[in-house]
Each structure stands twice: as structure tokens, then as C-alpha cells.
Structure 1
Amino acid sequence: MTVQQKKPAGRHGFKPGESIVYPAHGVGMISAIEEQEVAGMKLELFVIEFDKDKMRLKVPVAKAMSIGMRKLSETDFVERALKVVQGKARVKRTMWSRRAQEYDAKINSGDLISIAEVVRDLYRAENQPEQSYSERQLYEAALDRMAREIAAVNKMSDTESVRLIETHLAKGPKRGKAAEDEDDAREEAA
């Protein structure tokens, strides 16, 4: 298997040194575009580095778009995602295992708005009951994925990005048992 470094030219609008979003892993940086010979065929590959996870991924250039690799969101799209987390949590009354699968699919979709919905729906304020371990894991995964993209777009640290998201979460409607009881009462009265 031979590896040959290519000159820094863009492919599908992506170029070395550019931050991108890979659906299953979040924000990464294209470190190179390589040509590799695999089973007698030449393949052009994006080499993507995920510093936080200490991971390197090689993605065939031809498959990049079909797997959902994309450029970072625009700042106005980030603002829309932050508005989503301020909204009222939408928790379906289905079994947790089914909801968990849906949340996981949204997180791995790479879509910032879908990830923001998961953050909004699984967020728990101080006055709310504890989350289960799996809820907390999914919430933290979604928060981390969202924070890393916002940090990359706004050129801030991940910590500042998490604080920004939490500020927007706090601006949301009242949360907790009392708020749920009020909502239920309103629905019954209607």
C-alpha cells in the first residue's frame, strides 16, 4: 500500500487546514488530501484529525458528501440552534429505549439543529429530578458535539461555548415538575 501526499488542492469544496463536521465524530480538521493504492485501485482520501479525541480518520473523497461530511455552520445557523435550546422541551411519552435511539440518531446526524433539540429535551435545571445515567450520557454527548461546532464557528474555547449554550438553556421556559404540572393542567382545561 503506497501513500502519496497530494498538493493542497480543494476537493468538493474542502481543502487542507479547513475545519469540517463529520456526522459520527463532530468537528475535525482536514490535515491533508492523500492518494492511496488499495487493492490495485487508486483512492483519493481526506485525512481528518480530531484533536480532542486523538483520532485520525481517512475518508474517500468520493464518499465525503454521501456520508454527510459538511463545512461548519454559518453564524446565523448557530444563532438558530441557540434559539432551539431556549424552546420548550418536547419529550414524547414513548419508552426510553426508543427515545434514546432517536436522540442518538440525531446526535450522529451531524445536523446542528437536531443536536440542539437533544440538548433542549434532555437538559435538567438545578430544581429538576436527577437524570438517569443513559440520559446524562446522551445529554453530555449532544452538548459536547454542539459546543465544539459553536466554538469552531465563533472562534472561542469549548468551555466558553458550553457556557453560551447553558446561558441560552437558562433563558428557556420554566422547567421541572411544577412547570410540567402547569402544562398538564393547561392541556386539560383546553
Structure 2
Amino acid sequence: MAKKRAFEIGENVVYPAHGVGTITGIETQEVAGTEMELFVVDFAKDKMTLRVPTAKAEAVGMRALAAGDIVDKAMKTLKGKARVKKAMWSRRAQEYEQKINSGDLIAIAEVVRDLHRTDDQREQSYSERQLYEAALERLTREIAAAKDIPEDQAGSEIQSVLASRAPATPPAEA
């Protein structure tokens, strides 16, 4: 009784909390007395392997790489003006973390856009820099995989878009 699976071995996929991974196999394991079919997803950069039940893969947010139009929209999002809310940093940090872990390429691009700083702007705090780097890494990996280009080339494209945009106006210090 073989049914159609949403993903195939060798396919790159995006798992919301971890980013881009490759399905390296499909295995059957017994869990709590029940046979389960699992996707084996390898995240080589993080030296991590994840097993996702095939029946729940889409429900947990696992998806195929973004299509060209979504990648273009993400790059366009980067060109926009940074939108920094006047909320407390802890609240904004929580929102940024949720966007990064949503797996939504556009939301991740918004975080990169909002937290990007040019040399003449105020320095980022440690937590801002951590969130920015996490979002930038996720964005770079998915764009590289979606366009089938090396990560450093995708990173250069992202940096050139960020460098060409209008400077952000930092929020007034309280």
C-alpha cells in the first residue's frame, strides 16, 4: 500500500525551526508499538539529522524550497525601508525569533531588512546581532539552494541588495 509522498529522497526541503535540509532517506521505525514511516532530513551545516513522520511533514511546516517568485519577493523585501517598531526590545526580539522559526522566506527577509546596520549606524547589541546572523544565514541558505548557486554567491547578492537600499532611520533612544 504505497501512497504518494509529498517529498522524495535527495530533495532539499525547509524545516521551519532549522532551515534548509536534504532528505537522505525514508525509514520505518516502531514508535510506541506503532509502525511509522519517517523522512530522514540531514542538515549538513549543523551536523544534525532529523526524523519527521511522513504523515505529519506538511502539518509541522516542512515545505519544498521557495519558488523563483518567492525568492524575488524576498529580495524585494530586503530593498524596503527598515520597519522598527517602538516596542520594547524583548517584545521585538520575540517577534523576530517567531519570524525566523516560521520558515517563511519573506518573514525571514523582513528580519534581515529590519536588523541590518550600515557602518554609519549605531552598533547592534549582542542579541540583535545574534538574531540578524541567524536570519541572514537562513535566508542565504534557502536562496542558494533555491537558485542552485553557492552560499557565498547568494550571500553576496543579499549584501549588495542591502547596501543599495535606502538607509534606515534608527528608533529614537528612550
Residue of structure 1 equivalent to 2:118: 125
Partner SS, residue 52 of structure 1: helix
* Counterpart check, 1:157 vs 2:150: yes
Shift of 1:10: 5.4
Residue of structure 2 equivalent to 1:144: 137
Q: Select which of 64, 73, 83 maps to 2:76.
A: 83
Shift of 1:174: 2.3
Give structure 2 stretches of 5+ with no counterpart.
none
For these two proteins, the number of residue pairs brought into alignment is: 171
Shift of 1:126: 1.0
Partner SS, residue 67 of structure 1: coil
Contact 1:129 1:176 (C-alpha < 8 Å) held by counterparts:
no
Q: Which has the higher contact order (CA 8 A, sep 6+)?
A: 2
Deviations along 1:115-148, one digit per CA (max 9) or x if unpaired, are: 0000000000111110000000000000000000
* Counterpart check, 1:110 vs 2:113: no
* Counterpart check, 1:170 vs 2:140: no
Shift of 1:75: 1.2
Contact 2:82 2:169 (C-alpha < 8 Å) held by counterparts:
no
Counterparts of 2:167 and 2:19, CA distance in 1: 30
Shift of 1:40: 1.4
Structure of higher CA gyration radius: 1
TM-score (norm 2): 0.94
Shift of 1:175: 3.2
TM-score (norm 1): 0.86
- Across the aligned residues of Structure 1 and Structure 2, the Cα RMSD in angstroms comes to 1.6
Shift of 1:176: 5.2
**Overall identity of the aligned pairs, in %:** 58
- 1:2-151 to structure 2, matched below 5 A, reads 11=5, 13-151=6-144
Structure 1 residue ranges (4+ consecutive) displaced by more than 6 angstroms after TM superposition: none
Shift of 1:39: 1.9
Give structure 1 stretches of 5+ with no counterpart.
1-6, 182-190
Q: 1:145 to 1:69 in 2, by over 3 A?
A: same
